Chains A and B, each alone.
Chain A
Amino acid sequence: MAFPREATPKYLLLIGATLACSALALGTAFAQGTPTPQPEAPATAAEATPEAGASDVAGGNGDAASGATAPEDAATGPTAGQTEGQRGAAEAAAALAAGEADEPVILTAPKPDARRVYIQDPAHFAAVTQQYVIDGSTGRVIGMTDGGFLPQPLASTDGSFFAQVSSVWSRIARGDRTDYVEVFDPETLQPTADIELPDEAFRFLVGTYQWMNALTTDNKNVLYYQFSPAPAVGVVNLEEGKFDRLLEVPDCYHIFPASPTVFYMNCRDGSLARVDFANGETQVSNTEVFHTEEELLINHPAYSPQNGRLVWPTYTGKIFQMELTAEAATFREPIEALTEEERADNWRPGGWQQTAYHRQSDRIYLLVDQRDEWRHKAPSRFVVVIDAKTGERINKIALGRDIDSINVSQDAEPLLYALSAGTQTLHIHDAETGEELRSVKQLGRGPQVIMTHDMDS
């Protein structure tokens, strides 16, 4: 099938276009609210700005042009520093004053780093969706990709590519269905592979769970889940650019790769399944049962393929941890994310992507709030930070707003990403202090999934 990705470079193209278009492009593609000072902007540029016809950008607080505001709880207005829109306007004005011609080009995104973050917007089950590529360090949208119905995003651990498993229909939401895997170059955002899945190997259409699909640890195969007619895992060979085969698996869910040919799943019977698909075969074995029927494991565990740690909370905040290796799964002593007093006071985890794990510091982050037992998908306003080894509480961060999903960057001084599907805004915090640093607005209709590259080891 043809590559439908032309729209993405066009957004970037606009950014390099004429002065008027630059302001427009900032509104379209650069929804952000960084109030950080930009001292490098020359004074002459600021003076020239009103003449460039961008007075609403330079004179106001930047909202009109950039579509973004500073965090409500931070200092706002022009005095708080220059917005991204103001910086762009000043640069363009300076270029105009200096007599520089405007040469529209297609931009490339900066090289991926540990602070790049992808925001997938399932858009409340819309037939087409979008993903925003954001530089977490600055809060700038650096690109976008389009997807079909409930696409499952994937990011290679080394930052060499990102991908998605997606579905489209010949007449938007009806007609012939095509499932496919698409691989993107991380700088041009152009598709480098488009691999169709056979009809009998259709994927599971479901609210986006981060680990319902995965890349093998060598980044050479995409593994995706099939629910109906029977539990199965599809293997897509990225090196050869083709669908390999469907692996028959027991009644188990999610995919956690531990080696190039071994992955684990969580089974209905309360055990994990270990699946080895080396040499064209499928060998399945089950671990011991590690939780009871009353202990409900949430749909959004955290997993680090880099060290094989699986962090799996229940509805009450009891956390099971496993070490997954090619050979076996080792279960750690479960820990409680919430104190006895908190649990008695109706504190429970809740939201969408509720769990994050920072590999270098061995810390767990969990979204929690006071809630009714069956309000587990409503947003939360707090994050508890836990030492994964001791179970000790390190911090309880008040986010100050309703948040549905969290994740962290995997660098040494991690950022805590807090995403609100309700306001379509990504809030970027210092993971150590909990302080909000910046935010990015206008991220689609219902952004829910946060994905990063664990490439800073």
Chain B
Amino acid sequence: MNSATTLRSILGALALSAIGATGAWAQEKITVPTEEGVAATEVPADAIVVNIAKMKYQTPELTIKTGDTVYWINNEVMPHNVAFKKGVVDEGEFRGDMLGKDEAYAITFNEAGTFDYFCTPHPFMRAKVIVE
């Protein structure tokens, strides 16, 4: 019942899976450069960005390529995050750091697939990343 809430625990879980030796996990589905949000000013100018405002992810459906990194930037004071249900990016759930105004959070997608996500305290905020 433990939740993989940080990069470390996700990597730990993956390492354990690998030791489990079925070979089912060829690579991590996602990697997170930093566990905590960073200032929006640190987001590279050419980055793929999903803005969060007015209780919505402004790009509800985003299509990217394998290996791309997506930056979420919160434009309002209402705190938001990016979370995945159990089984989407890991066996457990994944809960990204809560972002204040003008904070950003990055996730690199390493595998093709459709990744539905939501905001932890606002389950009605939903969107998806399609990795091709």
Contacts and interface: CB of A to CB of B under 8 A. Distances in A.
Tell me whether A and B are bound partners. yes
Interface of A: 176-177, 199-200, 227-231, 251, 268
Interface of B: 1, 83, 85-86, 93, 118, 120, 123-124, 126
B114 to A, nearest CB: 16
Given A251-B123, A251-B124, A268-B124, A229 B85 contact: yes
Contacts of A227: 123
B86 A200 contact: yes
Nearest to B120: A228
Nearest to B124: A251
B34 to A, nearest CB: 23
Given A229-B83, A229-B118, A230-B85, A176 B123 contact: no
A177 B126 CA distance: 27
B90 to A, nearest CB: 14
Given A229-B118, A251-B124, 20 more contacts: A176-B1, A177-B1, A199-B1, A200-B86, A227-B123, A228-B120, A228-B123, A229-B83, A229-B85, A229-B93, A229-B120, A229-B123, A230-B85, A230-B118, A230-B123, A230-B126, A231-B123, A231-B124, A251-B123, A268-B124
Q: Which of B1, B93, B120, B124 has the most CB of A within 10 A?
A: B124
A167 to B, nearest CB: 14
B4 to A, nearest CB: 14
22 contacts: A176-B1, A177-B1, A199-B1, A200-B86, A227-B123, A228-B120, A228-B123, A229-B83, A229-B85, A229-B93, A229-B118, A229-B120, A229-B123, A230-B85, A230-B118, A230-B123, A230-B126, A231-B123, A231-B124, A251-B123, A251-B124, A268-B124
Contacts of B124: 231, 251, 268
A230 B116 CA distance: 11
A248 to B, nearest CB: 12
In the A-B complex, the 4 residue pairs with the smallest Cβ-Cβ separation, listed nearest first, are A251-B124, A229-B85, A230-B123, A228-B123
Nearest to B87: A200
Contacts of A251: 123-124
A268 B55 CA distance: 12
Nearest to B1: A199
Nearest to A251: B124
